[in-house]
Amino acid sequence: MREITHYIGGAAFAGASGRYGDVFDPNTGDVQARVQLATASEVDRAVQSALRAQADWAAVNPQRRARVMFEFKRLVEARMDELAERLSSEHGKVIADSRGDIQRGLEVIEFACGAPHVLKGEYTEGAGPGIDVYSMRQPLGVCAGITPFNFPAMIPMWMFGVAIAVGNTFVLKPSEKDPSVPVRLAELMMEAGAPEGVLNVIHGDKAAVDAILDHPDIKAVSFVGSSDIAHYVYSRGTAAGKRVQAMGGAKNHGIILPDADLEQATKDIIGAAYGSAGERCMALPVVVPVGRKTADEVRERVLAELETLKVGISTDPAAQYGPVVSRAHRDKIAGYIQTGVDEGAELVVDGRGFQLQGYEKGFFIGPSLFDGVTTAMTTYREEIFGPVLQIVRAETFEEALELPSAHQYGNGVAIFTRNGRAAREFASRVQVGMVGINVPIPVPVAYHTFGGWKRSAFGDANQHGMEGVRFYTKVKTVTARWPDGDAHDSAFVIPTMK
């Protein structure tokens, strides 16, 4: 059986923990590989490798670091098919979705290629008599990333792309459910010209996470996952004196006003709710039609779209989505559906009985649809992370605005309307971090920044864009005066610019 090892110091490293995790093929339900699980010893080995490489890497000028990023991007693009196939085989998402996963990560790498520009500091000539003041951005040292199963290419590249480009070295702990692509990305980073130890990958569970959070030589930790774990990572990491950004869960809403293009809005909602089997933090699992007429029409249109939606294996080019990542996750989604029924929601479409002929042991679950969902229901309050769409009806614009604003999560929201004034007011007032206007999945482009509010994010810095640069650097400000050769008395008071 294939064994997935750690990647430390530019080479595969077989740990000595003796602990392994199973890596499944979600299409068949079979174990296809086993992955080593690290202890604190393996984590420390990775950190020491990164520590040895960091000073020399930081001394490389930004333009040369950017050239490594350019070459890394070229290598990943050249191996897109290989990477997408491997990603789909471990995650279950369809090949087209895996390619999008990789491409979205590469867009952050493209941004990171601009490191020479984004690292330019500020300069003031003549801030005082013969005094100039300037600032510079310098790397933190060794940084770490803890990434989830749902985007095993994109989210690691969000993190290590910016961190490495600005002069840090990096220790990545990807999800143990689909670990192969992150290792391959580290190999390609070395092939692109990064020195040994610049990017290391260790696999593991809570033991590895805790070792990262406690390690004194790791200066910053970036995390994406569930909100409870995000809060844990933020609390433990900051208690250890680290800079931490921890992105959590979501319950994104799609508000549909009566004047919206309902045909387009419905198609957008279907793709955003059921794409990647709903395993996206930016999925859109709650649709909020405003007014009874709008709600009834949206329901009928969704039902019509679901009749044509195809669930298939990840390599089926006609499939809109594939299996979920694990049997346990499939069962968890099914449990949420039953909870919705028990709490009184109308289960319009039940996907729990879905089976794919020839793949009966795969982790498939069909699309489900609820109507009559209320804010008191568990399925509304919590993140299901599966192919389940819920209709929450609103009578007015104000009621629709209040729903996402009052929710415990504040990751993303979308509004569908032709009314520019309504859209502008909604975007201004809604208490959510990312807003789409007639855009169902409002993930910002790479040179902007990604991050939610409330229990969707812990910490003050968002992912990628200039927020990412600020997170992975520290500012040093220099106040300089060059004497003219004459001796002067020392100042015993704080200098001013008079």
Residues 348 and 303: beta-carbon distance below 8 Å: yes
Residues 106 and 71: beta-carbon distance below 8 Å: no
- What is the bridge-based pairing of β-strands 457-458 and 243-247? antiparallel
Marked catalytic residue, from 33, 281, 337, 446: 281
Residues 414 and 439: beta-carbon distance below 8 Å: yes
> Any catalytic annotation for residue 281?
yes
Q: Which residues are annotated as catalytic?
A: 281
